[in-house]
Amino acid sequence: MRIDDFLSEAKTVAIFGHVRPDGDCVGSTTGIYNYIKDNCPGISVDLYLENFPDSYKILRGASDARSAWTAESNGGKPYDLAFLMDTPSFERVGANGTECIKAAKKTINIDHHISNPLNLCTLNLVEPEASSASEVLYVSLDRSKVSKEAANSMYLGIVHDTGAFKFSCTGKRTMQVVGDLIEKGVDFAKIVNETYYTRTYKQTLVTGFVMENCKLGLGGKVVYAHITPEDMQRFGVTPVELSNVIDTIREVGGTEVALFLYPVNGKYKISLRSNYVVDVNAIAREFGGGGHTRAAGGDTSDAPEITIEKILKLVEKQL
């Protein structure tokens, strides 16, 4: 069955992404949200997303997102259909959505994480070789029914998960999809400039602080940094505002792996990126996380210094 077949049988739909939504999460969730809004007037659809950068509200539908599902949502009844986007496990579901998804009559998981078990939902459209969940979503839809607004969403998702097309996950099909989206009239320059290359003043200051204090390990093969709760308070930033710092750290020349740790809910979020050799997904799994071969994450209750030392040893083994 195709996505449209599932939609033809549904009257109520819920859409969820992962905790701490990034560009692909917001892009893919608002992408399917807009697709339903444009083509299925008989469906009542609810979008659930945790806090995400205000710049992503450039997308139609992003401001409609509810911050959390509750037992009273949808009149207290199970949804006919629930989408789980860009999320490889129920432990990573955001907006308190796990119970809602499991109770839904039918479910669809659209993802590209290599750690996805491929059995989370009724229909699992999971392509680890794809650049993004947004790319997987686009090729799974009736392309003739994708509006400019839905295209904007999926374009943003692809831009962010490919690092504006410079990461190794960018493939031939990725660029073909981007070409299709541009033909739909996407605001490509505005989306790239305002959501990928633009930072707030606070984000600029804290990113500069992190870069000033980053260090090299393993003979310059690893660049790493961390920030403390006190640092976050001093700069007045939230975890959401730190999510893209890792992509600046990875720009240090001559390095294979970039590592950044920052506080989230009493623990430290681990962000890992690699260029050509190291499988950071395997390293992230050691900390209860996962993701992709070249981009992954997890969390830890240990002090940053202890975690960094552990990760350096794991990287050294692979190198």
> Cβ neighbours of residue 234 under 8 Å, at least 6 residues apart?
none
Judge whether residue 33 has pLDDT over 80: yes
What is the DSSP-derived secondary structure letter of residue 73? G
Average pLDDT over residues 1-12: 96
Judge whether residue 2 has pLDDT over 90: yes
Q: Which amino acid, one-letter code, is at 57?
A: K
> Cβ neighbours of residue 54 under 8 Å, at least 6 residues apart?
none
- pLDDT grade for 154, boundaries at 50, 70 and 90: very high
Average pLDDT over residues 54-65: 97
Per-residue model confidence as pLDDT tens digits over 64-84: 999 999 999 999 999 999 999
Sheet holding 290-291, edge to edge: 215-217, 222-226, 257-264, 267-274, 295-300, 290-291
pLDDT averaged over every residue in the chain: 96
Residue identified by tokens 């809910």 is: 265
Tally Cβ neighbours within 10 Å of residue 42: 8
Average pLDDT over residues 221-232: 98
Residue identified by tokens 């999460």 is: 25
- pLDDT grade for 1, boundaries at 50, 70 and 90: confident
Percent of the chain with pLDDT over 70: 100
